[in-house]
């Protein structure tokens, strides 16, 4: 596993069992889950802070928006938007039955979606 492996989810996954399961599978993975507004640090926050404790400390010091940007949590919204675009334009199901053909189907769909995005993007030219 590479050191930049991460698990990103929304606040519903702010549970000890989720963090333990991620740590069990990938001990070096960063768990990027926003703590709930009522979250409190663990008992060992002063001596051996967990990732969640460090997140809470960062939110307290810099604010939630700064934590989201610094932790990379904002990437989750970009991914969700891209998947939403894909599903809206291409559809939410694959039609092929074999894995190799599904890969080809997704490749063609992504190429078509990217082409549509390029065609719809304005070309700005500075005049002054």
Consecutive 10-residue runs of the chain (128 residues): their mean pLDDT?
Answer: 76 89 91 91 89 92 94 90 90 92 94 90 87
pLDDT at 33: 93
Give residue 124's Cα distance to chain centre. Answer: 30
The pLDDT, as a whole number, for residue 20 is 87
> Residue 29 has what pLDDT?
92
In sequence order, what are the beta bridge partners of 6?
30
pLDDT at 120: 86
CA angle 29, 33, 38 (to 5 degrees): 140
**β partners of residue 7:** 31
Q: Does the pTM exceed 0.85? A: no
Q: Are 59 and 35 in contact (CB under 8 A)?
A: yes
Compute φ and ψ for 6, nearest 5 degrees.
-145, 160
Q: Would you say the C-alpha torsion 71, 73, 75, 76 has a positive or negative sign?
A: positive
Domain coordinates of the chain in residue numbers? 6-75, 93-128
Residue 3, pLDDT score: 55
């Amino acid at each position: 596993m590479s050191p930049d492996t991460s698990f990103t989810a929304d606040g519903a996954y702010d549970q000890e069992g989720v963090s333990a399961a991620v740590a069990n599978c990938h001990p070096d993975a960063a768990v990027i889950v926003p703590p709930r507004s009522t979250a409190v640090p663990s008992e060992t926050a002063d001596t051996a802070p967990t990732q969640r404790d460090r997140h809470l400390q960062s939110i307290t010091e810099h604010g939630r928006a700064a934590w989201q940007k610094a932790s990379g949590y904002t990437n989750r919204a970009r991914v969700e938007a891209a998947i939403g675009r894909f599903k809206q334009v291409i559809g939410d199901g694959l039609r092929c039955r074999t894995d190799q053909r599904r890969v080809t189907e997704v490749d063609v769909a992504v190429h078509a979606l990217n082409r549509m995005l390029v065609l719809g993007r304005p070309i700005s030219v500075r005049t002054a």
